[in-house]
Amino acid sequence: MERKKVIVTGGTGFIGSHTVVSLLEQGFEVVIVDNLINSSLDVLDGIEKIAGSRPDFFELDMQDSTRTAEFFATQTDAVAVIHFAALKAVGESMKKPLMYYRNNLFSMVNLLESMTRHGIFNLIFSSSCTVYGDPDVVPIRESNEVKPALSPYGNTKKVCEDMIQNLGRSEEGFHAISLRYFNPIGAHDSVEIGELPIGVPNNLLPYITQTAAGLREELLVFGGDYDTPDGTAVRDYIHVMDVADAHVKALNRLLSGTQKKRLEVFNLGTGKGSSVLEVIQSFEKMSGCKVPFRIVGRREGDVPEVYAATDLANQELGWQAKRSLDDMTASSWRWECRVRQLEV
């Protein structure tokens, strides 16, 4: 049987690379498009080692409309696009909002124009729980009001979802699924691929693992006075391999035409909130390493508590996160040890 071709933008990035592995394992042909500003070509070796085949790769910055159009003109046999390529640091987006709007929105416009021009009518979009802003109630349901985003990054995700929604109304046949991720962490079980932040990490888990590995002196815990059980902020951490699996389920739903609306939205979380201190405790238990930390003031743009209601994804996608917080912190540590060549 001929393999179905899927274009994965941002496929050498953290979530993208894990999804590419899952797609290859499920028999899809994969073409990666990435501008490599936040990832490296070595990731292709890791993917090949795990999946036993190497995806095609095109270096392309999708802000460039001409090159994006030229690329898509050669890919008219693709059945779908999974769009990960975007800038993703909340804090950086506060400092450089226009860079975020230019990158995330221009590339989305260019992508959607090329897809519709060439009749590629299935899209999976990498969205985020940041579109919910500071929610009034948790767990957050997809039907919850989408509040104003607290950062330019979050707003780009919201505007991209709006663009897709509008296009779904105007373009007969166009279908999309937007997956709103909560906090993906961990690495592939093989530790051939994982998260590789450039410079000082912004996110909690890479900061914890780098502190344990001795690269950072101490972890700063942002905020100890939230109205949460231990005073630190609560998030819904989810294993990146569970996130990858959800993309394959979503793709199969698109391709089998079983969608209920032109644009469907699903939360990808575990449904369980964990505080920063709980994450540190889990990490220390699973790694056997101490993480020196100090509680400091709140970080701008942070919300106190977010975790997902997952029943819609469970029912409609037939998907459920399988891995626990301990699995995630253990996996992040094994990956850090592999990268730093430390004994586990």
Q: Which is nearer to ligand UDP, 12 or 274 (CB)?
A: 274
Rounded CA-CA distance 85/262 in Å is 22
Which residues in this chain contact ligand UDP in the complex, by CB under 6 A? 90, 183, 202-204, 207, 219-222, 233, 235, 276, 299, 302
Q: Which is nearer to ligand UDP, 264 or 336 (CB)?
A: 336
What would the two tokens of residue 55 be?
């995806």
Q: Which is nearer to ligand UDP, 235 or 247 (CB)?
A: 235
Q: Which is nearer to ligand UDP, 22 or 274 (CB)?
A: 274
Query: Does residue 41 contact residue 13 with C-beta atoms inside 8 Å?
Result: no
| Sequence-ordered alpha helix ranges (H) in the chain | 14-25, 42-51, 65-73, 90-95, 97-100, 107-117, 152-170, 204-212, 240-256, 276-287, 311-312, 325-340
Give residue number: closest CB to ligand UDP.
Answer: 233
Per the annotation, the verdict on 207 as an active-site residue is no
| Least Å from the CB of residue 330 to ligand UDP | 17
Non-local (6+) Cβ contacts of 30 within 8 A are 5, 6, 7, 8, 11, 20, 23, 24, 55, 56
| Least Å from the CB of residue 304 to ligand UDP | 8
CA 330-333-334 angle, to 5 degrees, is 85
| Least Å from the CB of residue 329 to ligand UDP | 13
| Least Å from the CB of residue 290 to ligand UDP | 16
What would the two tokens of residue 22 be?
């899952």
Rounded CA-CA distance 229/56 in Å is 48
Identify the active-site residue in 100, 101, 132, 153: 153
Q: What is the largest CA-CA distance in the chain?
A: 58
Q: Which is nearer to ligand UDP, 157 or 249 (CB)?
A: 157
| Least Å from the CB of residue 251 to ligand UDP | 25
What would the two tokens of residue 172 be?
């007969």
DSSP structure string for 286-319: HH-----EEEEPPPTT--SB--B--HHIIIII--
Which residues are marked as active site?
Answer: 153
